[in-house]
Amino acid sequence: MNDQQEEILREKYCNKYRKIKNIRLYKEIPVFSRSVDLVQYDLKANVITAIEFKINDWKRAIKQLENVAMCFDYLVLCIPKPKTEKCVNNIKSACDEKGIGLCFWDDVNDLIHYECQPKQIIDIWNIQRRQIIAYLDNRED
């Protein structure tokens, strides 16, 4: 059930951002022994962003992002907006501390918005990053 809900959330994100010029979105990109839910590739800026979608267990999603951090310019977590302000603040604090962008889906208004902007990752494994970009360049999505 969560997988279906995460797919719906990913589609909502894609519907919002696929219309932007020079932005390409790629689902389920293999990195190491796992796959990233979505990679956003800004062709003009030559920037790749790993995005993880979670309905539950946002802490697990942060760990997943940290595991691939060395390959991407930015990391983003996208989740449904929590019902309580305390929970919102806890998640924002955790993402801010790690430099991870935070995107909330507001189910009441059916809107996706950025709560925290991601910080650029400085220590990147450039060989692996270039391999991911080459993979994206050869994939039709």
Question: Does residue 141 carry a pLDDT above 70?
Answer: no
Return d(Cα 129, Cα 32) in angstroms, integer: 12
Tokens coding 100: 């991870």
* Mean pLDDT estimate for the chain: 94
Tokens coding 25: 């979105």
Inter-axis angle of helices 85-98 and 58-68, nearest 10? 10
Phi and psi of 101, rounded to 5°? -70, 150
- The least confident of 11-15, 22-26, 107-111 is 107-111
* Tens digit of each residue's pLDDT (9 = 90 or more) over 31-64: 998 999 999 999 999 999 999 999 999 999 999 9
DSSP one-letter code for 71: G
Q: Is 113 helix (H, G, I), strand (E, B) or coil?
A: strand
- pTM for the complete prediction? 0.94
* Tens digit of each residue's pLDDT (9 = 90 or more) over 76-123: 999 999 999 999 999 999 999 999 999 999 988 889 999 999 999 999
